[in-house]
């Protein structure tokens, strides 16, 4: 039944997303659908429940399953910033520390750092898993869990990757302190100081900091807010510059939230493979799709792709559990991880194993994907309502951040400083660029519990604009 319900759910999700069913349409009744397709009633109900979890359907008492209203997004998407592509050292990251400090200050309204509020995280289940791990493995948790990390966690991760169409043996995974460490290890494994790394523009500022700390140069490739890194631009860049690695977040990139289509993924992998350039995939948001099945991985197309990820956006950033599947760089990465900090803390690794094993991770995902989708819709609608006309807004397909292009001659650095003085944290556009582009842009995190305090913060931001 597993496969049948998923096939039906995927088919209906595609139909809804393509406009085959409109907001408010009623889906055929369970009995009718079952008869029509020669499926059991239980299979149809499970498929409909899955669509409900994905935020596409809602049940109306006694009258059936209806397509949920899509956000009333009237704003245009932000533009793609195209400039001359030239490798350059990373500059201007000093603002980020202020942002990070603000993220731990309860007096500040958190719209800056992409850190989910505790209400989005399964804190009770985590507490139980930590307690169980501490009791069950008292001696083991007092010791190092040397690189490559807890075998049972690697086994579970390997199974999840297989479900996403990606065969990675547990021996080919290394557990890390979050995705940030995985990215650091990946770039250290394949580059030397002075090398050029191709990245999406805009991109996650943590990646820029890793590039800066390793003495590398960033080559910013224009990125489409809908389909991800421009492959035409990348091709041109590869023909001009001695690129030594390429880092991408194909599934719900940060800050754009876009999903690279499968055909682009195939082309990207082939393009880099043909030139023997290491491809590093950051999949930290891959489990957080709003309405599709889990998107495919570049790693599933070529085992030599280096995959980096973590549970920081799904379970908890505080546990600091991430992983890397380094392909042919396994031995090097395993050794570098050991040299860097010997091991990742033992208890969180075993607690995450427990959450994967007892099904809590999967159950939590089913809930939180809908919660994030709703949070993004609400924030988008509020921005449309309060911000000046002409504000352009991304439409993420997963994750929990939105990327805004502000109208007029706005300096988002100055805006962020003034907002912080009023107790509101936002992430100004230039920190998402190696060369401080995106002065007129800003990112908002939507993973906050909606309240009048958040609404007032948006009104204040609009006032500052």
Ligand X SMILES: Cc1ncc(COP(=O)(O)O)c(C=O)c1O
Confirm or reject binding of residue 317 to ligand X (CB under 6 A).
Answer: yes
Least Å distance between CB 62 and ligand X? 43
Q: Yes or no: say if 421 and 76 are a contact pair by the CB < 8 Å rule.
A: no
Please give the structure tokens belonging to residue 160: 């999840």
- Select the residue interacting with ligand X from 9, 27, 164, 179 (CB under 6 A): 179
Asked if residues 347 and 127 have their Cβ atoms less than 8 Å apart, the reply is no
Stretch that binds ligand X, among 126-134, 164-172, 309-317, 353-361 (CB under 6 A): 309-317
Answer whether 101's CB lies under 8 Å from 95's CB: no
Number of Cβ atoms within 10 Å of the Cβ of 222:
18
* 3-state secondary structure (DSSP) of residue 385: helix
Q: Which window, 173-181, 298-306, 438-446, 449-457, contacts ligand X (CB under 6 A)?
A: 173-181
Site string for ligand X, 13-52 (x = CB under 6 A): ----------------------------------------
Is residue 149 close enough to count as binding ligand X by CB under 6 A? no
Contact range with ligand X by CB under 6 A, out of 137-145, 178-186, 350-358, 376-384: 178-186
> Of 33 and 326, which CB lies nearer to ligand X in the complex structure?
326
DSSP 16-35: HHTTSS-TTPBPPPHHHHHH
Residue 180 interacting with ligand X (CB under 6 A): yes
Using CB atoms within 10 A of its CB, is residue 460 exposed (0-12), middle (13-18) or buried (19+)? Answer: middle
Based on CB atoms, which residue is closest to ligand X, 206 or 250? 206
State phi, psi for 36 to the nearest 5 degrees. Answer: -55, -40
Query: Least distance to ligand X from the beta carbon of 340, Å?
Result: 14
Beta carbon of residue 324, minimum distance to ligand X (angstroms, whole number):
11
Residues 83-122 contacting ligand X, CB under 6 A: 114
Nearer to ligand X, 43 or 314 (CB): 314
Integer Cα distance of 132 and 123 in angstroms = 14
Q: Does 282 bind ligand X (CB under 6 A)?
A: yes
Q: Which is nearer to ligand X, 145 or 282 (CB)?
A: 282
Closest CA to 81 of 449, 454, 459, 429: 429
* Cβ-contact 211, 245 below 8 angstroms: no
The answer to whether 306 contacts ligand X (rule: CB under 6 A) is: no
Phi–psi pair at 388, nearest 5 degrees:
-60, 155
- Count of chain residues binding ligand X (CB under 6 A): 14
Nearest CB to ligand X, comparing residues 33 and 309: 309
Residue number of the CB closest to ligand X reads 178
From 369, 446, 377, 372, select the one nearest 54 (Cα to Cα): 369
Nearer to ligand X, 251 or 391 (CB): 251
Over the window 254 to 273, marking each residue x when it contacts ligand X by CB under 6 A and - when it does not, the resulting string is x-------------------
Peptide bond just before 202 cis, omega within 30 deg = yes
Could you tell me whether strands 174-176 and 279-282 are parallel, antiparallel, or unpaired per DSSP bridges?
Answer: unpaired
The contact pattern for ligand X, residues 361-390, with x = CB under 6 A and - = no contact, is ------------------------------
Q: How far is the CB of 268 from ligand X (least distance, A)?
A: 17
What residue ranges in 270-356 does DSSP mark as E strands? 279-282, 306-310, 322-325
Nearest to 286 by CA among 248, 233, 327, 321: 248
In the complex, minimum distance from the CB of residue 283 to ligand X, in angstroms, rounded to a whole number: 9
Does residue 249 bind ligand X (CB under 6 A)?
Answer: yes
Task: Give the nearer residue to ligand X in terms of CB position, either 257 or 327.
Answer: 257
The DSSP call for residue 54 is T
Which residues fall within 8 angstroms of residue 136, CB to CB, at 6 or more apart? 350
- Read off the DSSP letter of residue 77: P
- Nearest CA to 191 out of 172, 212, 171 is that of 212
- Which range of residues in 91-99, 177-185, 192-200, 384-392 is near ligand X by CB under 6 A? 177-185
Instruction: Give every CB contact of residue 124 below 8 A, 6+ residues apart in sequence.
Output: none
Query: Is 288:313 a contact under the CB 8 Å cutoff?
Result: yes
Query: By C-beta, is 282 or 287 nearer to ligand X?
Result: 282
DSSP, collapsed to helix, strand or coil, labels residue 303 as coil
Q: Does 278 bind ligand X (CB under 6 A)?
A: no
**Is 425 near ligand X (CB under 6 A)?**
no
Among 206, 228, 295, 429, binds ligand X (CB under 6 A): 206
- The closest of 113, 203, 94 to 444, measured between CA atoms, is 113
Q: 248 or 373: whose CB is closer to ligand X? A: 248
User: C-beta of 304: minimal distance to ligand X in Å?
Assistant: 20
Site string for ligand X, 320-359 (x = CB under 6 A): --x-------------------------------------
The first and second tokens of residue 231, run together, are 């492959």
Residues that bind ligand X (CB under 6 A): 114, 178-180, 204, 206, 249, 254, 282, 284, 310, 312, 317, 322
């Amino acid at each position: 039944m597993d496969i049948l319900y998923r096939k039906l759910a995927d088919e209906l999700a595609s139909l809804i997303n393509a406009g085959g069913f409109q907001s408010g349409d009623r889906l055929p009744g369970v009995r009718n659908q079952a008869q029509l397709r020669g499926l059991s009633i239980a299979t149809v109900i499970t498929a409909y429940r899955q669509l409900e979890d994905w935020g596409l359907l809602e049940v109306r008492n006694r009258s059936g399953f209806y397509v949920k209203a899509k956000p009333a997004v009237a704003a245009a998407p932000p533009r793609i910033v195209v400039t001359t592509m030239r490798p350059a050292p990373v500059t201007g990251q000093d603002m980020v520390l202020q942002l990070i400090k603000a993220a731990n200050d309860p007096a500040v309204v958190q719209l800056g750092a992409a850190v989910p509020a505790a209400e989005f995280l399964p804190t009770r289940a985590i507490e139980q898993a930590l307690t169980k791990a501490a009791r069950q493995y008292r001696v083991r948790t007092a010791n190092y869990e040397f690189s490559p990390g807890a075998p049972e966690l690697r086994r579970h991760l390997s199974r999840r990757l297989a479900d996403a169409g990606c065969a990675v043996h547990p021996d080919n995974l290394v557990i890390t302190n979050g995705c940030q460490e995985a990215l650091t290890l990946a770039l250290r494994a394949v580059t030397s100081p002075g090398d050029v790394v191709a990245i999406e523009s805009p991109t996650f500022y943590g990646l820029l900091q890793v590039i800066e700390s390793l003495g590398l140069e960033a080559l910013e490739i224009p990125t489409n807010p809908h389909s991800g890194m421009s492959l035409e631009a990348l091709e041109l860049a590869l023909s001009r510059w001695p690129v030594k690695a390429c880092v991408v977040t194909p599934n719900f990139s940060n800050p754009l939230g876009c999903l690279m289509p499968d055909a682009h993924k195939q082309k990207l992998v082939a393009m880099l493979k043909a030139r023997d350039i290491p491809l590093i995939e950051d999949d930290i948001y891959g489990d957080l799709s709003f309405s599709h099945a889990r998107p495919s991985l570049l790693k599933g197309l070529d085992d030599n792709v280096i995959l980096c990820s973590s549970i920081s956006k799904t379970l908890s950033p505080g546990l600091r559990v991430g992983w890397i599947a380094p392909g042919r760089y396994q031995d090097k990465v395993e050794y570098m991880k050991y040299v860097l900090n010997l091991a990742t803390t033992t208890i969180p690794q075993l607690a995450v194993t427990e959450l994967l094993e007892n099904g809590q991770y999967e159950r939590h995902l089913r809930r939180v994907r809908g919660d994030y989708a709703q949070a993004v819709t609400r924030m988008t609608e509020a921005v449309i309502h309060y911000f000046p006309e002409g504000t352009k807004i991304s439409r993420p397909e997963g994750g929990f951040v939105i990327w805004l292009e502000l109208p007029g001659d706005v300096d988002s650095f100055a805006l962020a400083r003034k907002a912080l003085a009023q107790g509101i944290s936002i992430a100004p556009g230039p920190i998402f660029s190696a060369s401080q582009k995106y002065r007129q842009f800003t990112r908002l995190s939507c993973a906050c519990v909606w309240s009048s305090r958040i609404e007032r913060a948006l009104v204040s931001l609009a006032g500052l604009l």
